[in-house]
Amino acid sequence: MIEKIEPWIQGKRVLLLGFGREGRSTYNVLRRLGTCSVLDVADQLALEDQPEGIETWISGPDYQSCLNDYDVVFKSPGVVLERPAEEYRCQILSQTEVFFQCFRDQIIGITGTKGKSTITTLLYHLLKHAGYDTILAGNIGIPVFDLMEDIRPETIIVCELSCHQLEYMTVSPHIAVLSNIHEEHLDHYGTMEKYVRAKEHIFLNQRPEDVLICSVQCLPEPGECVSRLITACPAFAEPPLDRYWKEKKTPVRQDAPSLCVEENENATIIRYEGTVYRIPQDRIRLMGQHNYFDIGFAYAVCRILHMSEEDFTKGLIDYEPLPHRLQFLGELNGVKYYDDSISTICETAIQALKTLKDTDTILIGGMDRGIDYRELIEYLSRSPVPHIILMEATGKRIFEEITEDYPEFENMQRLIPAEHLEDAVQIAKEVTRPGHSCVMSPAAASYGIFRNFEERGERFRALVFAEQPENTVF
């Protein structure tokens, strides 16, 4: 199956731009094919153990200056091009681009600022549980080239897509899910408009026979989407969902089929094309309205693929949520602790407080990427949560903004500055009342402090339960 890649590289001078996990995967596949005349690597860092078959290793601050010396450049998602892609003479490709060119009719692509990993893994689990031939691909784990030998004509490919993977894409999946867009990654894109455009590549190259399931929060402009559009709306959300989209004012398509997730008489139901499905909240592990909206996206896709409601329910009940996403860690001295380390934006911290209504303490803060925290500040002012611990650079900025610009902030004594996570956890242990919850939902990135949000979450768990482990209940 990897022979499908040959038309892009046969007889070409090929450069691998970036040599992380995806770059190494590309190297291994291209070496097996042996159809490129030159295979070199450009990476900012030099490696001591350089693989065989590479004639030239380009590193250092000018490592991107050589791109036009090659016919084809396979760019890794984490590499930022120094110039716009159209200014290069070489062809800029990626694993995702070539993989989609080969299999786009079999792909369900999922993106969004938040929730895409939950939707992706849930959908894959539901399909697998119901007996579909399916694989999990994309940003969630294994590089897509490493999966090509497992794909048959009937295989359904469930693919999570990051903004970096989508940024230069010229092909879109047969079924696309765009769950939400919030202010994020401005340190990379510079403007919200550029970030949004990267996300919109999930549908910009769709065909009339394709399907887009899209939140009403981020509808395409009229004329942009030629596929079948399904508008998705969380009826329990407080409009507008995001300040940026309040300004966009894209009209809702009146002729588009709708997917709606709403609360109704102490239940949450999904309405989709004439069907009503009641989420079995007391039998599933996913918590919170934002997760119920994610279930709605998965439900719509499963109905398109003709899955029965019985199979959907069985798979939903059996699904184990991903870690660090409002994950219950355990109970210590009467306090329930939750890890929501995946939270890097205002909306996720707000959703954590909406879900855990007994929250006594919330830990907020991390790397400061310059996003607008007005939405979170205004919500915290109205929230009854008695202890708001603000840590790291972001926490310091939020504290300063509140004290300087929000004199009407309700009960400012609730704000507790902390230097680092270690200090924040110690304070949380001292102030959180038994019978209540403490949640770390940082609304900020972990980079520069931890390797990733996973390490941050594990560190939080270790700090919480370092003392008196015999009192811990799991």
What are the binding residues for ATP?
A: 112-118
Contact call for residues 423 and 430 (beta carbons, < 8 A): no
Q: Is 171 helix (H, G, I), strand (E, B) or coil?
A: coil
Q: What is the DSSP string of 277-315?
A: EE--GGG-S--SHHHHHHHHHHHHHHHHTT--HHHHHHH
The pair of three-digit structure tokens given for residue 325, joined into one six-digit string? 């996403």
Q: Across the beta sheet with 437-440, what order do the strands follow?
A: 327-332, 335-339, 437-440, 359-364, 387-391, 415-418
List the one residue out of 197, 151, 199 whose CA is nearest residue 176. Answer: 199
**CA 471 – CA 474 distance, rounded (Å):** 10
**Up-side HSE of residue 298: CA atoms within 13 Å toward CB?**
30
The pair of three-digit structure tokens given for residue 118, joined into one six-digit string? 């939950």
Q: What is the DSSP string of 33-100?
A: H---SEEEEE-SS--SSPPTT-S-EE-STTTTTTGGGSSEEEE-TTPPPSS-GGG-SSEEE-HHHHHH
Contact call for residues 438 and 428 (beta carbons, < 8 A): yes
Q: Is 423 helix (H, G, I), strand (E, B) or coil?
A: helix
Q: What is the DSSP string of 195-226?
A: HHHHHHHHHHT--TT-EEEEEGGGPPPTTT--
Find the helix or strand (DSSP H, E) in which 319 lies.
Answer: none
Q: In Å, how far from its chain's centre is CA 239? A: 22
The pair of three-digit structure tokens given for residue 79, joined into one six-digit string? 């590499």
Q: Which residues are annotated as a binding site?
A: 112-118
What does residue 30 show for φ and ψ, rounded to 5 degrees? -65, -35
List the one residue out of 128, 134, 184, 131 whose CA is nearest residue 159. Answer: 134
Contact call for residues 341 and 456 (beta carbons, < 8 A): yes
Contact call for residues 93 and 73 (beta carbons, < 8 A): yes
List the one residue out of 223, 185, 192 whose CA is nearest residue 206. Answer: 223
Contact call for residues 405 and 381 (beta carbons, < 8 A): no
